[in-house]
Structure 1
Amino acid sequence: MAPSVSTLTRNEEIILQRIKNTTIQHNLNNVTRTKAYLDFYMQHPEIQWAFLGHMVSRNGGWNMTDLKGEFLTRLMAKKDRNLFFHFLERGNWLIFQDVYPQFLLYEESIRYRKPLFYLFSHLNISTFMETIWNQFWQNQDTYIHTIAMVINEQSYLEKRVVQNPHYQKEVINKFEFMLQDWLSFNHILFPYGKKQLSGQTLHQFESLHERILLGKRLYSILFKNKEIHQQVVDWAKNHPHTGSRKDYWPDIFNSVNEGMPGFPYQLRLKSCQLRAGARKIYSPSLENAWKNVKQEEAEKGDWFGNWQVVDYLTEDEEMIDGEIKHEYCKTLERLELATLAKKAITF
C-alpha cells in the first residue's frame, strides 16, 4: 500500500518533486518530448516502449506540421486546423506526463537498488502500471512490459481525449472521414536506410481495442526483426526530430516553402518522386509551425477497472509485414489531386 502524503519521508518528497520538475521541463512541445523518449531509451534499452513511443511521437509531430504544410493549408479552414492541432497536442502532452514520470521513477529505483513504484499513486499513475513495473523489476520481461505500457497509454487517453465530449464534437466526429481514409494521420511511419519506410495504418481511431492491437503490431515491426530494428534506431540517432517530413524524405519535402504565394498548385509527384523541375513539398519544422501550448492539468482518475485487459499481453507469433510505402505514396497522391482541384474539405 502506498504511503499517504503525510507519511512520505523527506527523501521521497524530494524524489517526487524532482520527477515532476524534470517532466515539466521536457514536456514543452512534441520535439522536446520525442527527444526525451529517445535519450531515455539510449540509456535504458531494456525499456522498449521508450523507443516505440519515440517513433510514434515523431509521427505525431509530422501530423502537427502537416496542418501548416503544403496541402492542408489549402484544404482545411484555419479554425479547423487549429482545433486539430490542439487535439493532437493534448494527446501527446498527456501521454508524456503520464509515461515519463514512470521512467524517472525506474531510474530512481536503479539508483536506490530497490523498487520505488509504490510512489506511483503520488504521480497519478495507474495501479495497473505499479503491478507491471514491479513484475518487470523481478523478471525483465520486455514484451509484457511494453505491451502493458501500450494498454496503459491508450486507456489513459480514452476518456481524457477520445471520449472527451469537446473533442468528440469538434474534432473526431468532424474529421472522421479524413482520419480514416484521407490523410497521413492514420499512417505510422518508421523510416530507415535510404528512403525506406516500414509501419502500419490505423483504420478505426475511435476504437480502443484497435489502437491497442495497432500498438502490438508496431512493437512487432520495431523489435522482432533485429535488422529492421537496428536500422530504425540508427536512423533515429542520425536524424534529430524537427517535426518536418524533410527529416526522412529530404528529396521530396523541404522545411522552407519553395512555392509562390497565390499561385495555383501544380502536380509535383509521380510514384513518390518529384517530377522533373518540380518544387519540393513544404513541410515546416514544428518550431516554425506552432507555438508552445500551456496545458491544463491532466484529469484525475485511474482508468484501470478490470483484469480482462491482461488478455492483450498474450504474445502473437505471426511476423507483421510492415510494408507501407506504397500505401503512403497513394495518400500523398490523393492529397495532391485534392489540392490541385482546390476541393476544400468541408464539414
Structure 2
Amino acid sequence: MGNTISWKELTRYIQELTGKLNKDNISRTNAYKKYFDRHPEIKWALLASFVSRNAGWSMTDLKGSLFGPGLSDAQQKWLFLTYERANWLIFSDAYPQLLLYQLSKQFEKPLFHLLPALGVSSFMEAEWERFWHERDQKRLMYALIINEQNTIQTPIIQNPLFKKNVFHTIPFQVCEWFHFNTVIFPTVEGVFYGVSVKRFTSLKERIKLGKQLSQLLFRPELFPFFFHFTTYVPHTGSRFDMERWAGAMSRSSPFLRTCFPVIAHSLDGVKTDWFHGENMEGLFEDEKLPETIELTEWYFHKRRQLRAVFSLENWLKKSWK
C-alpha cells in the first residue's frame, strides 16, 4: 500500500478484509488472537478472542450430549443464530477499528476520521483519538467493551424475534437460573477461571462482565497461563478443547465446522449510531471481581446439573408424545 492510496480505497480494503475474516466463529477467534500478537497494546483483541472461543463452545453445546437431546431443532437454530449474529455483528464493527489503528501506525498518523465511513459509532472515534495521544490501554479496552455491548443491544437483545425465540424461552431461562452464562478462561494445567453474568439481557450487566473479564484475563499472576492456552490450543469450537486438560475422557460436543453452516449476514437496516452524546464516564470505572474466580469444580458440577435438567426435559417430551 503506497501513500497515494485514496481514503475510499482504504475503507474498501478494510471492509473486504473484515468480511473475509468474519466467516464464522473460528475465523473470528483466530483473527482477534493474531491481531493481539501483532499489537499487544490493544488488549481488547485478546479478550475478544477468548470470549469468541466461549461463544464457539456454546454453539457446539447445542449439538452435543448436554443440550442436544433436550432442544428442538427450532430451539437449536435460534440459539445458534443468537450467538452467531451477535458475534458477527461485533466483529463487523470492531475489526475495522483495529485495522484502521494498524494502518494509522503504518502511516504514522491517525486515520480515525474514517471511522464514520466504516459505520463505527462517534463514541469510538473520540476514544481512538484519545488513545492515539494518551496511550491509555485500559481506557481503550473499556471503551471497546462499552461499544460492543451497545452495538448488539438493539439489533439482538431488543429484537422482538430474538426475544420471543430465545430470551423468553425455557432453555435460556434455565441457563440463567443455573448461573451458566459464564465465560471461562482455561489453562493447560486443567484449572478453569471465569465470571458469570447474572442478567444477560441487561446492557449494564454485560458491560460489567466485560470489565471483570478484562481484569481477570490480565491479572499478572494468571495472564501467562491464559496466554499459553490460547497460543498452544487450536480453536475447533468443541468444548473438549478445554475439558480434556481437566481430565475429561470423552467429547461432549462436536467440532463447530462439522455441525453448523457458514451463515450469510447483512448489515442492511441494522446499523445505526447508538451514541447520542451521553456522559459515559461512569462506565469507565473498574469493577470488582467476584470472590471466587477459580471455577473448575463449580464448572463440572454445573455441567452435571444442566445435563440432568435437559435429560429430564427430553424424557418429559417423549413421555407426552
Q: 2:175 aligns with which of 164, 179, 195?
A: 179
Match of 1:244 in 2: 238
Q: Using the alignment, how far apart are the partners of 1:48 and 1:119 within structure 2?
A: 22
Q: Which of the two has higher C-alpha Rg?
A: 1
Alignment of 1:121-200 (within 5 A): 121-174=116-169, 175-182=171-178, 184=180, 186-200=181-195
Does residue 26 in structure 1 map to residue 21 in structure 2? yes
Structure 2 counterpart of 1:230, one-letter code = P
1:322 deviates by: 1.9
Distance change in 2, residues 1:107/1:133 (3 Å): same
Asked if 1:101 corresponds to 2:96, the answer is yes
User: Aligned runs of 1:74-113 on 2, under 5 Å?
Assistant: 74-113=69-108
In 1: Cα distance, 2:290 partner to 2:311 partner:
39
Structure 1 pair 176–336 and aligned structure 2 pair: CA distance change class (3 A): closer
Give secondary structure in 1 for the equivalent of 2:19.
Answer: helix
The answer to whether 1:293 aligns with 2:289 is no
Structure-2 separation of matches of 1:318 and 1:176: 25
1:223-278 CA distance string (max 9 Å, x none): 1x2121111011100011110011112267xxxxxxxxxxxxxxxxxxxx66xxxx
Q: CA deviation at 1:327?
A: 2.5
Give the aligned partner of residue 3 of structure 1: none
- 1:202 matched to which residue of 2? 197
Q: 2: distance between equivalents of 1:296 and 1:318? A: 37
What SS does structure 1 have at the residue aligned with 2:222? helix
CA distance in 2, matches of 1:96, 1:345: 39
Give the residue type in structure 1 aligned to 2:177.
Answer: D
The question of whether the paired residues in 2 share the 8 Å contact of 1:221 and 1:321 is answered with no
Name the CA shift for 1:316/1:334 in 2 (closer, same or farther; >3 Å): closer
How far apart in 2 are the matches of 1:320 and 1:53?
Answer: 23
Q: Which is further off, 295-304 or 211-220?
A: 295-304
Q: Which residue of 2 aligns with 1:231?
A: 225
SS of the equivalent of 1:300 reads coil
Q: What is the percent sequence identity of the aligned residues?
A: 33
The number of equivalent residue pairs is 312
Q: Distance in 2 between matches of 1:189 and 1:320?
A: 16
SS in 2 for 1:304: coil
Q: Conserved in 2, the CA contact under 8 Å of 1:129 and 1:148?
A: yes
> Does the 8 A contact of 1:200 with 1:214 survive in 2?
yes
Q: Which runs of 5+ in 1 are unaligned?
A: 1-8, 253-272
Q: What SS does the corresponding residue of 1:199 show, helix, strand or coil?
A: strand
Cα displacement string for residues 179-237 of structure 1 (whole angstroms, at most 9, x for unaligned residues): 302474x01000113111111011101110101011111011011x2121111011100
Conserved in 1, the CA contact under 8 Å of 2:69 and 2:311? no
Secondary structure of the structure 2 residue equivalent to 1:297: coil
Q: Aligned to 1:282, what secondary structure does the other structure show?
A: coil
TM-score, normalised with respect to structure 1: 0.85
CA distance in 2 between partners of 1:307 and 1:105 (Å):
25
Q: Do the aligned partners of residues 316 and 296 (structure 1) sit closer, same or farther apart at CA in structure 2, a change above 3 Å counting? A: closer
Pair 236,53 (structure 1): closer, same or farther in 2 beyond 3 Å = same
Paired residue type of 2:77: N
Give the RMSD, CA atoms, in angstroms.
2.0
- Equivalence map 1:270-289=2 (5 Å): 280-289=250-259
* Alignment deviations for residues 80-119 of structure 1 (CA, whole Å, 9 cap, x no partner): 1111111111001000000000000001101110000000
For the structure 1 residues 27 and 229, does the alpha-carbon distance in structure 2 shift closer, same or farther, using more than 3 Å as the test? same
C-alpha distance in 2 between matches for 1:201 and 1:235: 20
SS in 2 for 1:188: strand
Decide whether aligned partners of structure 1 residues 318 and 211 sit closer, same or farther in structure 2, where only a CA change above 3 A counts.
closer
Question: Which of residues 308, 315, 331 in structure 1 aligns to 2:286?
Answer: 315
- Structure 2 alignment gaps of length 5 or more: none
Q: Decide whether aligned partners of structure 1 residues 183 and 78 sit closer, same or farther in structure 2, where only a CA change above 3 A counts.
A: farther
Letter in 1 for 2:235: H
1:16–1:345 Cα change, 3 Å = farther
The answer as to whether partners of 2:70 and 2:311 remain within 8 angstroms in 1 is no
1:219 partnered with 2:214: yes
Tell me the distance in 1 between the aligned counterparts of 2:222 and 2:245.
Answer: 22
Q: Give the stretch that moved more between structures: 210-219 or 280-289.
A: 280-289
Which amino acid in the other structure matches residue 266 of structure 2? E
Correspondence for 2:300: 329
